[in-house]
Chains A and B, each alone.
Chain A
Amino acid sequence: MLTAHWLYGLSGCLIMALGLRAVLLNDSLLQRIIALNVMGTGVFMILITIAYRGPDATPDPIPHALVLTGIVVAVSATALALTLIRRLTEEQDSD
């Protein structure tokens, strides 16, 4: 059980790191937005892992609330980003 706990946490960190790397090194805007989402997923995984309080206790609800809020925020941000990218390509095409 403990090993699974640590595994989840570590994978969360790994995903976050991969996402970070992609944001910094990639050139395409779309890929960077996706990479940011991946990064976010990594952080959410860590949060979920933290919620575990042992085999007998109920999980901590607060990190769950944080993850839900975080997902909403990430979705809105991605929506804005995608709209802007679309408008930018339109502007550049009409130039």
Chain B
Amino acid sequence: MIDILIWLVALPLAGALAALLLPRYATAIVISTAIATSISAAALLYAVATHGVMLYEIGGWPAGLGIALRADGLAALLLTMSALVLLASSIYAGAYFRENLLRSRFWPLWLLLWTALNALLLSGDLFNLYVTLELLGLSAVALASLAGKTAAMQAALRYLLVGLLGSMLFLAGVTLIYAGYGTLDMATLSRVVAAGPIAWSALALMTVGLLLKTALFPLHFWLPPAHASAPAPVSAVLSALVVKATFYLVMRLWLDIFSEVVIPQVASLLGILGAAAVLWGSWQALRAERLKLLAAYSTVAQLGYLFLFFPLLQALPAGAARDAAMGGLVILALSHGLAKSGLFLAIGIIQQRSGHDTIRDLDGTAQRLPATTFAIALSGTALIGLPPSGAFLGKWHLLSAAFSAGQWLWIIVIMIGTLLAAAYTFRVLGHAFGQQPYPRHPVTIAIEEWPALILTAFATIGLGLAGAPVWQLLKVSL
């Protein structure tokens, strides 16, 4: 059972190497690796639910000297969500990339990204986090630049620069931690870290680095161009998973390791930036002319919602209310991951069919692809936070926490943000109703449309109706 932790990192890595060495069989290798990794992720989820926190010390070296892999409820949930997104996107990508050359370059990088993601989520050691963070960033940049056009290259380069800057700051923070406490093991640190200049500076450095990578307002400038010019499956993974991974790290730092150090004012600062992200991102999404740009700005906004939780979690005392809010945060993140990836996949289908993704000229295509449009509708439901969706439950808990803590500002922000999200979603969906001829069969390109439908269905009906286990799993924590 404990070996599952290693399988989750080793499988995609082996697959990446195999795909590199045997480009002719690459697609088959990737799909089978994807299925195997997804099964492992599900097994991990089950193991964490029944046995509690899973630990694996690599090479037998005890924590402190060696590198530990740890999985608790939060990590297991994110791992499972990533696996689902990557599996669906892999199936989609197999059909999306028409040219073989592009595809053979794509697959190894794709699996490398998966390796990095899994390793990051399972890391129990701060420096290991740095390495996996870099690996994640590099493979993401490489994937984003695959399209080859000037705009994509420029966006990818900017992404790379920002990412490297962020990691460097993160490393500086790790250095400070080691200087102050002599260990890099996360479980140990969460016990010993106490308020003081070293802890504050380290937290500040690491947070700024991570915020750069998570694209929190006003450090979000690199995200819309990068996500909008990447190929569809890459955008899906970038928006749904890569930024979530760095957000997960912010959560670990603020709520776990440095929980004694955080003061309410700084938590409020995160909240204010989050609020600005919600309003600015939603407004820009409303004004966007291209579907992918709309989706990218929507990511900026949705990440803002996640940051609104921080001042609330800080203000609530430990207990049922705080646990409920935590679960709300996680389910909102999961819901966004599933919904946004499904959205990007659907947009990719539209883009390939009509050669463009301009919203104003969407009429013909949207009406000729009813299944795709339905996927966009489901995704929109989860992004707005309408029932049934995980986001509905998440927003409920966010609002509830705001009312309990008496922090009224966030309530107004959430209400406006929800209405703006509705506005930009239905701006797109309005094009699905027109007077173009309706195709005989609702599902036209099965292999591409079903992954999008399944992902968005999970975000809405799956998490919306069967989301209660999320809270139970979060109780299994480090």
Contacts and interface: CB of A to CB of B under 8 A. Distances in A.
Tell me, yes or no, whether A and B come into direct contact in the complex with CB atoms closer than 8 A: yes
Interface of A: 16, 20, 23, 29, 32-33, 36, 39-40, 43, 46-47, 50, 62-63, 66, 69-70, 73, 76-77, 80-81, 84-85, 87-88, 91-92, 95
Nearest to B139: A80
Interface of B: 65, 127, 130-131, 134, 138, 141-142, 145, 148-150, 153-154, 156-157, 160-161, 164-165, 168, 171-172, 174-175, 178-179, 184
Given A66-B127, A77-B138, A91-B148, A32 B161 contact: yes
A87 B134 contact: no
A38 to B, nearest CB: 10
B157 A39 contact: no
Contact of A69 (B131, B148, B157, B160): B131
Given A47-B175, A62-B178, A80 B141 contact: yes
Contact of B153 (A46, A47, A63, A87): A87
Contacts, number: 77
A84 B145 contact: yes
B172 A84 contact: no
The 7 A-B pairs at the shortest CB distance, nearest first, are namely A88-B153, A91-B150, A50-B179, A73-B134, A36-B164, A39-B168, A43-B172
B164 A70 contact: no
A87 B145 CA distance: 10
Nearest to B134: A73
Contacts of B141: 80, 84
B165 A29 contact: no
B150 A77 contact: no
Contacts of B127: 66, 69
B175 A50 contact: yes
Contacts of A47: 175, 178
Contacts of A81: 157, 160-161, 164
B153 A40 contact: no
Given A16-B172, A76-B134, A91-B148, 18 more contacts: A20-B165, A39-B165, A43-B172, A47-B178, A50-B175, A66-B127, A73-B130, A73-B131, A73-B134, A84-B141, A84-B153, A84-B156, A84-B157, A85-B157, A87-B148, A87-B153, A88-B150, A95-B150
Given A23-B165, A81-B160, A88-B153, A70 B171 contact: yes
Contacts of B138: 76-77, 80
A95 B459 CA distance: 42
B206 to A, nearest CB: 13
A61 B156 CA distance: 36
B180 to A, nearest CB: 10
A50 B168 contact: no
A24 B134 CA distance: 20
Nearest to A49: B179
